[in-house]
């Protein structure tokens, strides 16, 4: 996906939706904070004209998955994924990229539980991040850095970014995220090319679907249907 206008619009949506969620912060469990963030997130539904002469229809969607049976020892309830998907109308999806996350509220000091959760997401720098929900703002860091710091927030130093920066800069520009890592709605499972046999469970799915049309003079997207 090379259209600068499309990428700018995705970046702007990440920034605005995170800012809205931060403004609406009420101290509660990370599960409910993730849901509140999802409500702010699912507000994008528009068409952007790209520099390549094509029209791009962008839709942001949030899904709270039904409770599922966890794998043994897997007790986390606030794990999810941010994902971007590109398709060419009327062809099927041609590109997907995903970034897993584990949420935490007011991370302070060493957190053995968060360390275990980060290890569960594995040490691949690009694959997953920890989100720290706080009234002072939403922060994020790669799970690889959390593992390296032994789960100690005080040892993270400059490894922590704002969640807006992590999504709008690191994720959008490909420095975070794994190609073909995504939640499959049809099969109701996480598709993970790095660990195909993993039974990792997630609860929250934040998607941006981009449907590309052959030209700006082509058929307009039907906003009543899912892209």
Tokens 């942001």 belong to residue: 60
Question: Mind listing the pLDDT tens digit for each residue in 127-139?
Answer: 999 999 999 999 9
Judged by average pLDDT, the poorest of 61-70, 149-158, 174-183 is: 61-70
Cα 98 to the center of its chain, rounded Å: 7
pLDDT of residue 95: 92
Higher pLDDT residue, 101 or 91? 101
The answer to whether the beta carbons of residues 16 and 32 sit under 8 Å apart is no
Look at residues 72, 58, 56, 54 and name the one whose alpha carbon lies nearest to residue 13: 58
Q: 57 in helix, strand or coil? A: strand
152 DSSP assignment: B
Question: What does the mean pLDDT of the chain come to?
Answer: 86
Q: 63 in helix, strand or coil? A: strand
What mean pLDDT is predicted for residues 1-24? Answer: 90
- Rg of the chain over Cα atoms, rounded to whole angstroms, equals 17
Residue 66 has pLDDT above 50, yes or no: yes
Range list of H helices, 42-130: 112-120
pLDDT band at 217 (very low <50, low <70, confident <90, very high): very low
pLDDT of residue 51: 78
| Percentage of the chain lying above the pLDDT 90 cut | 63
What mean pLDDT is predicted for residues 193-214? Answer: 87
Q: Give the total residue count for the chain.
A: 227
pLDDT band at 223 (very low <50, low <70, confident <90, very high): very low
Cα 90 to the center of its chain, rounded Å: 25
């Amino acid at each position: 996906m090379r259209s600068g206008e499309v990428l700018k619009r995705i970046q702007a949506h990440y920034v605005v939706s995170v800012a809205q969620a931060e403004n609406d912060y009420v101290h509660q469990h990370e599960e409910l904070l993730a849901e509140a963030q999802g409500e702010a997130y699912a507000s994008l539904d528009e068409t952007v004209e790209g520099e390549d002469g094509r029209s791009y229809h962008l839709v942001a969607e949030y899904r709270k998955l039904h409770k599922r049976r966890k794998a043994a020892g897997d007790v986390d309830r606030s794990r999810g994924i941010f994902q971007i998907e590109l398709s060419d109308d009327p062809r099927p999806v041609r590109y997907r990229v995903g970034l897993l996350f584990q949420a935490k509220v007011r991370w302070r000091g060493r957190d053995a539980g968060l360390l275990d959760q980060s290890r569960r997401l594995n040490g691949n720098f690009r694959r997953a991040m920890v989100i720290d929900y706080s009234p002072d703002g939403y922060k994020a860091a790669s799970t690889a850095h959390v593992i390296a710091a032994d789960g100690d927030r005080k040892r993270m130093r400059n490894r922590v970014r704002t969640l807006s920066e992590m999504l709008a800069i690191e994720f959008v520009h490909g420095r975070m995220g794994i190609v073909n890592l995504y939640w499959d709605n049809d099969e109701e499972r996480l598709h993970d090319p790095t660990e195909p046999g993993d039974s990792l469970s997630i609860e929250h799915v934040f998607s941006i679907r981009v449907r590309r049309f052959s030209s700006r003079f082509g058929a307009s997207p039907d906003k009543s249907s899912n892209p």
